[in-house]
Amino acid sequence: MVSHATIAGMGVALPAAVRQTDLWDGYFAQQHTGARRALAERIFAHSGVRTRQAAVSPLLEDVSNWSTERRMRRYQIEAMPLGKEAVGRALTDAGVAAEEVGLFAVCSCTGYATPGLDILLARDLGMAADVRRLFVGHMGCYAALPGLGTVADFVVAHDRPAVLLCAELSSLHLQPPAARANIQQIVSHALFSDAAAAVVVTPGETSPFAYAIREVTAVTDSTTADYMTWEVTDLGFRMGLSPRVPDVLAVHVRGLVTDLLARHGLEIAEVDGWAIHPGGPKILDVVQERLGLDDAALAPSREVLSAYGNCSSPTVLLVLDALRRRAAPPARVVLLAFGPGLTLYGVLLETSTVTA
């Protein structure tokens, strides 16, 4: 009987990158005037983002007045090759053939179509006709972690590999001028980016340095449900992002982490790798302060924010991928991600080197 599931491979695919300063100078600076322009410029400058990816760059194509229908059609066109590349790389990294996959799960909150990515990519990648599929929509930035928990449960129950794909195209949801002056929209336009990241999860140990998924945990503070929203409008999806989000994280994050670790006889000091979703600089500051972490612990998350922006659900996987590619990868990792609810998710990963 399989006792646990292991992350055996990862793959990332990114659209073309663009510098934050070029986005500001070439497009967003022209969208604001007076005091609002000065405020927007400060938000862009202090976002913690240096470069971002855009499948649909406003420097080349302004989609702000497109209908939601038109954006959804474009989503399918842009997301398919990114998803195929990310999953293909993850399967190669894991040494798993597409036809071996028992479950293919896809997380995305930035686009919908039927047949969806789960159906079309399973077909194009050569997965078996009886592969189980799951599409997880509209969970937002934390979706990778419940997705990871779901595929891990499948692997343990069925002793077969599974694949998780997180694919987001936030660039398709550039808001029209009437909404753009809202501070929450300015923050969203300064932070969000596009990416696809895939994980292959297999039964048992695959190598001494592969990460076993020990536990997935969550807490939701439903009293703050209106602090983070993602509304479907006639002109794309519109982000609502309260400045009070970091305050809610400050209340809950330490309890979530200490309870998770305590169930495994661990303390914060025994974790040598932290993959924290970089929702923005203030979120990372709050998590660092509440957990008592040093700058080195937060460096991977801040580096991902700087290089890639906030890509929604794939972002925490980008941080994990950066950690596992180090010359000396951490042996014990905690993943943290946050999103609508407000919801906090945590995952504990360990290599066999710390449990032998």
The full DSSP string for 284-312 is HHHHHHHHT--HHHHHHHHHHHHHH-B-S
User: How much is the pLDDT for 204?
Assistant: 83
Last residue within a domain, chosen from 177, 203, 229: 203
Residues of the chain falling short of pLDDT 70: 1-2, 206-209, 355-356
Between β-strands 273-276 and 236-241, what pairing exists: parallel, antiparallel or unpaired? unpaired
Of 182, 203, 224, the residue at which a domain comes to its end is 203
d(CA 129, CA 325): 33
Instruction: Look up the pTM and report it.
Output: 0.96
Q: State the pLDDT at residue 355.
A: 57
Could you give the 3-state DSSP secondary structure of residue 355?
Answer: coil
Do residues 121 and 21 share a domain?
Answer: yes
Instruction: Report how far residue 330's alpha carbon sits from residue 325's, in angstroms, rounded to the nearest whole number.
Output: 10
Q: Are residues 71 and 90 in the same domain?
A: yes
Name 330's Cβ contacts closer than 8 Å, sequence gap at least 6: 271, 272, 273, 323
Structural domain for 34, as ranges: 5-203
Q: How far apart are CA 139 and CA 152, in angstroms?
A: 18
Question: d(Cα 274, Cα 257) in Å, to the nearest integer?
Answer: 11
Query: Are residue 229 and residue 297 in the same domain, yes or no?
Result: yes
Residue showing tokens 């794939």 = 314
Catalytic residues: 141
Q: How many domains does the chain have?
A: 2
Q: Quick one: 194 and 262 in the same domain?
A: no
Residues 193 and 125 in one domain: yes
> What pLDDT, on the 0 to 100 scale, is given for residue 353?
75
Q: Cis omega (within 30 of 0) on the bond before 340?
A: no
3-state secondary structure 1-44: CCCCEEEEEEEEECCCEEEHHHHHHHCHHHHCCHHHHHHHHHHH
Q: Verify cis geometry, omega within 30 degrees of 0, for the bond prior to 293.
A: no
d(CA 80, CA 200): 18
The SS3 call for residue 263 is coil
**What tokens were used for 52?**
């971002």
Residue 228 and residue 180 in one domain: no
Q: Do both 228 and 291 map to the same domain? A: yes
In whole angstroms, give the CA distance from residue 69 to residue 60: 20
In order, the DSSP letters of 108-141 are ESS---SS-HHHHHHHHHT--TT-EEEEEES-GG
Tokens matching residue 257? 């982490």
User: Of 203, 226, 242, which one is at a domain's C-terminal end?
Assistant: 203
Q: Is 237 in the same domain as 292?
A: yes
My answer on whether 191 and 304 are in the same domain is no
- 327 and 280 housed in the same domain: yes
What is the C-alpha end-to-end distance of the chain, expressed in Å? 19
Asked if residue 190 and residue 267 are part of one domain, the reply reads no
Q: How far is CA 204 from the centre of its chain?
A: 25
The reply to whether 100 and 191 lie within a common domain is yes
CATH number of the domain bearing residue 217:
3.40.47.10
Tokens coding 138: 């509209």
